[in-house]
Structure 1
Amino acid sequence: MSEAQYKNQKFQNTLRAGALFISMLALMLGLGYTLLGFTGLLWAGAFGLITLGMSTRVSSQMIMRFHGGRPLHPQQAPQLSRLLQQLAQRAGLPATPKLYYVPNNSLNAFATGSKKDPAIAITHGLLSTMDLRGLSGILAHEISHIRNNDLQLKSMVKLFSRYTRFFSLFGQILLFINLPLFFMGEATVSWMAIALLLLAPTLVTLMVQAFSRSREYDADLEAARLTGDPNALADALETLDYYNKGGWLARFQSPRGIKVPTILSSHPKIKDRVKRLRELAPRFVPRFDWASWQPTRWQMI
């Protein structure tokens, strides 16, 4: 993939994420202004910044303990550690993320922390199912989240969601106060303000999900650039989708099962992500020669 094509795709992804982020910020400040005027606007902004600063101070080790993870030392998974170190160097991270093993049979991996204190967790199910090539795509994807500061951005986005739920409580109180006043012909609070307060959580939820989907596409692009092998991540995603849906047994389930609309999902559809990655594949040259890597063994875990 040429540098111009990469920058163009990166710019489009960043532009979408920035637009969503500004919309959420404007909504939050607007809610503060609706309640207390200019003073409410200032308080909403101040509380958001203070809480964000506190949330980013939580250590990655503490978060991993919460999920039941334990450190995965290089001696236990030397090839995986070597792979992670190379990907982190290519991404320009100041520190190689710490690996954590989660004794869970689900197929999952997630990143936490910051660029200075990064960590990536991998479940037992993922290690038992995925080969090293597939893991390279998954690790590159999680490293991309760390590199792009997505973890900090997601913390801020979650704060917006919490604040809007808090504001909606005032909207409900104002609604109960407004109805009797309306029927008595007295002066009432603006119905537009009440509607905004009540609908805010729903609007922010839709924005949060759109923001998350945008960051996933961006991380996929960065992962393809780090490995030079978009098909590695595409194959891994298809494997994750297959097993997490129940494998071949899922083929016999009723087609009437409830499906979550894309607009309410925090991740894009797997088929859409795979399609994008397959289309990118001809533009890249794989950066790993897997024939030179020794077979992986996880029995030591």
Structure 2
Amino acid sequence: MGNTLKTTVLLAGLTALVLVIGDRLGGPQGLLFAGLFAVVMNFGSYWFSDRIALAIHGARPLPYEQAPWLHDMVARLASRAGMPKPKVYILPTAAPNAFATGRNPSHAAIAVTAGLMELLDRRELEGVLAHELGHVRNRDTLIGTVAATLAGIISYAAQMLFWFGGSMLSRGDNDERGGLGSAFANLGLLLVAPIAATLLQLAVSRSREYGADQTGAELAGDPDALANALLKLERSAEAIPYDKAPATSHLFIVNPLHRGGVMALFSTHPPIPERVRRLRELGARLGARTGGRGGWEYAY
């Protein structure tokens, strides 16, 4: 409930930024245009985001005959989650990672990289797949798309204003204040708005990752396996970064554009050590309830 409330507030903040920019640039007409534009963009994202994301990364369907055990694993986890089995895709890259996409559980897909299948053992891989199914069940794929779309609209509006700037920046308000003061106010808004939009989008993404970690750990019944997988993936992201389509980096289970230092503040993902800490604590609680046996009940 806390994550749901936080996400709702953050998405409302992004929407408000879109409307404020529209109002500052065009008054009532700009406000109306901004609202309609946001609706149209989100409608398109809702219906086509899965195809776009998969096509951008060159994902192709993974035939059942090529990895029957992987398909069976996804089917079993989907059954536990009470939803249809998503389509399974593979990305032809050595960088180990995975993401989920689709507007709802009935139209979902999970994509894994070739590097992921080579790096992780099957227990860890099940934890990663469960995490991605957690995103689908929690409707994070839709939320992430809406957040990215709204943030994109704000950034695009700022870019257009700077390209076609002057007259718009000096547009007076409906009252008599107008002039230079109004121009500086508009300029300040358009400098700050893209940064604020980015930070709000990052907050949505980070909040959703924690939720998917918990949901995935509960689906697989083995939080420690997911924690181990995250540690391996973090080290691999440093060694083999994946910089194709940076705008989609928030979709992946770990940030494919590994950045350290100050840039970590602008990461679409929460810190791996914190995610691992929470999973270890969850694993300890599950272990206590199962008499120390753990929750992973399948041997391969």
TM bucket normalised to smaller: 0.7 to 0.9
Hey, what does 1:100 align to over in structure 2?
A: 89
The correspondence of residues 242-253 of structure 1 with structure 2, limited to 5 A, is: 242-246=235-239
Aligned to 1:33: 23
Which residue of structure 2 aligns with residue 155 of structure 1? 145
The total of aligned residue pairs comes to 266
Residues in 2 aligned to 1:52 and 1:131: alpha-carbon distance in whole angstroms: 38
Distance 1:199 1:128 in 2: 43
- Are the counterparts in 2 of residues 136 and 227 from structure 1 also a CA contact under 8 Å? yes
CA contact 2:25–2:168 (8 Å) conserved in 1: no
Answer yes or no: is 1:275 the counterpart of 2:253: no
Within 5 Å, give how 1:37-56 maps onto structure 2: 37-56=27-46
Could you tell me how far apart the structure 2 residues matched to 1:57 and 1:81 are? 25
Contact 1:210 1:263 in 2 (8 A): no
Q: Does 1:207 align with 2:200?
A: yes
Q: Kindly indicate whether the alpha-carbon contact (under 8 Å) linking 1:220 and 1:277 is maintained by their aligned counterparts in 2.
A: yes
- RMSD between superposed Cα atoms in Å: 2.4
Counterparts of 1:272 and 1:108 in 2: how far apart (Å)? 19
Match of 1:111 in 2: 100
Question: Does 1:66 find its partner at 2:59?
Answer: no
**Pick from 230, 235, 259: which aligns with 2:228?**
235
Q: Which amino acid aligns with 1:283?
A: R
Q: Secondary structure at 1:290's aligned position in 2?
A: coil
**Bigger CA radius of gyration:** 1
3-state DSSP of counterpart to 2:93? coil
- Structure 2 spans left out of the alignment, 5+ residues: 171-177, 241-258
> What is the letter of the counterpart of residue 74 of structure 1?
Y
1:111-162, Cα deviation, whole Å (9 max, x unpaired): 1223222111111111111111101110011111111221222221122222
Residue type of the alignment partner of 1:129: L
Alignment match, 1:290: 298
Cα distance between partner residues in 1 of 2:12 and 2:188: 21
The amino acid that maps onto 1:97 is P
Partners of 2:151 and 2:110 in 1: how far apart? Answer: 25
Which residue is equivalent to 1:218? 211
Q: State the one-letter code of the partner of 1:111.
A: A
Q: Deviations over 1:77-119 (max 9, x none)?
A: 22211111111112222x2111112221111111122322211
Q: Deviations over 1:206-264 (max 9, x none)?
A: 111111111111111111121121111101001111222239xxxxxxxxx96244331
Q: Matches of 1:235 and 1:44 in 2, distance apart?
A: 45
Seen in structure 2, the aligned counterparts of structure 1 residues 271 and 59 have a Cα distance that, compared at 3 Å, is closer
- CA change 1:161–1:60 in 2 (3 A) is closer
Q: 5+ residue gaps in structure 1?
A: 1-10, 179-185, 248-256, 295-301
Using the size of structure 1 for normalisation, the TM-score is: 0.80
Give secondary structure in 2 for the equivalent of 1:122: strand
Output the CA distance in 1 between the equivalents of 2:7 and 2:95.
29
Name the % identity. 38
